[in-house]
Amino acid sequence: MGDRIFLSSPHMSDEGYEMQYVKEAFDTNWIAPLGENVNEFENELARKVGSKAAAALSSGTAAIHLALRAAGVGEGDIVFCPTLTFSATANPIIYQNATPVFIDSDYKTWNMCPKALEEAFTKYPNVKAVIVVHLYGLSADMDRITELCKKHNVPLIEDAAESLGTYYKGQHTGTFGDYGIFSFNGNKIITTSGGGMLVSNNEEKVAKARFWATQSRDQARHYQHSELGFNYRMSNVVAGIGRGQLKVLNQRVEKKREIFAYYKKELEGLEGIEFMPSNQWDEPNYWLSSITLNGKVRPIDIMEALEKENIESRPVWKPMHMQPFFDKYDFIGKGVSEELFKNGVCLPSDTKLKHTDIQRVIDIIKRLWWG
């Protein structure tokens, strides 16, 4: 059994950018709560993606939660949400005592199906907000989705947790909607160990989100709170890690794309394998290289074969409408997401992988076909 190969693990810069900013936080004693690293991480991320304002938060989940609040979502409201996603996309809808309606995927993007979304608007004309996800770094069909949201005058929130560095028609994902969110969890393309960012061109709404995230503390000599608040702000130390990581984002995207291209070159000739879709308007970051299987080899066969060799892989996300907690909510679609879950596998996509590591994964997979 060889060394452990991870699906996607933290990767600090070789140049030590992160430690420079962290050391500065220690040297100045700006450990918490806020400080220059937080302010500059917000400014640098906003400039990077082309957004007017950003709020550094404790997680991507917190960012979605505050985006929903900023969009006016409250008790009893309907929110459209992709079914093929991680639960962190849907959980904040429940935090707001709102009701999710899950929207199916399409094969063209693996993301929210515009036709299913249009059907959902017909069924639920009073929907309060739409959340769209860019799954595994693949962009959703943003032209059609934004057109529908504008037609119905409904705020759009982009969950770009997995797609920092992905472009749709030359524009960063996360910047098409009224609000965009990014995640810096340990497995993301850049990481702060844990953290997230809310971005928007509405600077007033972002300022309000920062206020909510700091316990909604009013400007008063004493502690005064006129609104419900949350402990959602990112620490100055964590933000320092983020500033360093942002400097190597382009390198990480390039490596992810190389990994995907190598898998595709070596494996696409095997019977029954299809790779995650590619569209002319999409420049993915390929956060996770993913495949579907439709033949004698099943996803579980690949995952178990890799596991025996100390290699991590994962199924494609289990759709929300199939989850025990969420299965009572409505689902609009034709079961595409269920097929992707049934047939999908996410392959090791760690940016620290060497050529020999990737080849090791490929050889194990090929043996399942060749014996």
Cβ atoms of residues 112 and 132 within 8 Å: yes
Percentage above 70 pLDDT, the chain:
100
Over residues 57-76, the mean pLDDT reads 98
**Does 10 map to a domain?**
no
User: pLDDT at position 218, please?
Assistant: 87
**Does 8 map to a domain?**
no
- 215, 246, 277: which is the final residue of a domain? 246
**Does 1 map to a domain?**
no
Q: Is the pTM above the cut of 0.95?
A: yes
- 246, 267, 289: which is the final residue of a domain? 246
What CATH number corresponds to the domain at position 62?
A: 3.40.640.10
Same domain as 221, residue 352 = no
3-state secondary structure of 255: helix
Percentage above 90 pLDDT, the chain:
96
* Number of helical H runs and strand E runs in the chain: 12, 15
Cβ atoms of residues 131 and 84 within 8 Å: no
Same domain as 206, residue 228 = yes
pLDDT over 80 (residue 176) = yes
3-state secondary structure of 248: coil
Number of domains in the chain: 2
pLDDT band of residue 331 (cuts 50, 70, 90) is very high
* Residue 180, CA atoms < 13 Å, CB-side half-sphere: 26
User: pLDDT at position 34, please?
Assistant: 87
- 218, 246, 274: which is the final residue of a domain? 246
Same domain as 307, residue 220 = no
CA–CA distance, 138 with 166 (Å, rounded to integer): 7
**Does 210 map to a domain?**
yes
Encoded tokens for 61: 């989940």
Cβ atoms of residues 2 and 360 within 8 Å: yes
- List the strands of the sheet with 171-172, edge to edge: 171-172, 167-168, 282-283
- Please give the DSSP secondary-structure letter assigned to residue 99: E
Same domain as 32, residue 72 = yes
CA–CA distance, 55 with 45 (Å, rounded to integer): 10
Which long-range CB contacts under 8 A does 93-96 form with residues at least 24 apart? Answer: 93/68, 93/131, 95/65, 95/68, 96/65, 96/68, 96/69
Residue ranges making up the domain that contains 275? 249-370
Same domain as 321, residue 228 = no
CA–CA distance, 53 with 57 (Å, rounded to integer): 13
User: pLDDT at position 219, please?
Assistant: 87
Same domain as 259, residue 234 = no
What CATH number corresponds to the domain at position 360?
A: 3.90.1150.10
**Does 277 map to a domain?**
yes
Same domain as 192, residue 46 = yes
CA–CA distance, 76 with 97 (Å, rounded to integer): 6
pLDDT band of residue 371 (cuts 50, 70, 90) is confident
Same domain as 209, residue 80 = yes
DSSP structure string for 204-236: HHHHHHHHHHBTTB-SSSS--BSS---B-BPPH
**Does 2 map to a domain?**
no
- Exposed / middle / buried, residue 4 (Cβ in 10 Å: 0-12, 13-18, 19+): exposed
Same domain as 283, residue 342 = yes
Same domain as 190, residue 263 = no
**Does 6 map to a domain?**
no
Same domain as 36, residue 158 = yes
Cβ atoms of residues 349 and 7 within 8 Å: yes
> How do residues 76-122 score in pLDDT, each as one tens digit?
999 999 999 999 999 999 999 999 999 999 999 999 999 999 999 99
> How do residues 2-49 score in pLDDT, each as one tens digit?
799 999 999 999 999 999 999 999 999 988 778 999 999 999 999 999
Same domain as 154, residue 49 = yes
Cβ atoms of residues 59 and 159 within 8 Å: no
CA–CA distance, 74 with 55 (Å, rounded to integer): 21
pLDDT band of residue 314 (cuts 50, 70, 90) is very high
Over residues 192-212, the mean pLDDT reads 97
